[in-house]
Amino acid sequence: FEMTETPFTGTKPKAAVEIEVEDGTHTSGMPVNVKALCPLNAIECSWSAPDSKEKVVSGMTATLTFDKPGSYTVSFTTSFITY
């Protein structure tokens, strides 16, 4: 998740979504649990992990499994209802 600076204040805005990954050592072949902390107006949440066994998972939480050790890209997408 990349943040950009606000031009007038020089401060970074608070993220609309925070991602949590379970603590501890993650072993290849064992599931990793991830969780999104979103505002109440978040809808249609999904995780995309092309290198995991699960590929795409819907919902605020996901369990992903990777066969080999390494660094992987996991994307989280959500839509928000605006009031």
Which pairs with CB-CB distance under 8 Å and at least 24 residues apart come from 61-64? 61/33, 61/34, 61/35, 61/36, 62/33, 62/34, 62/35, 63/31, 63/32, 63/33, 63/34, 64/31, 64/32, 64/34
Cα–Cα distance measured from residue 4 to residue 73, given in angstroms and rounded to the nearest whole number? 20
pLDDT in tens, 42-78: 888 899 999 999 999 999 899 999 998 888 899 998 8
pLDDT in tens, 9-37: 555 445 577 888 888 778 888 899 999 88
pTM of the complete model: 0.69
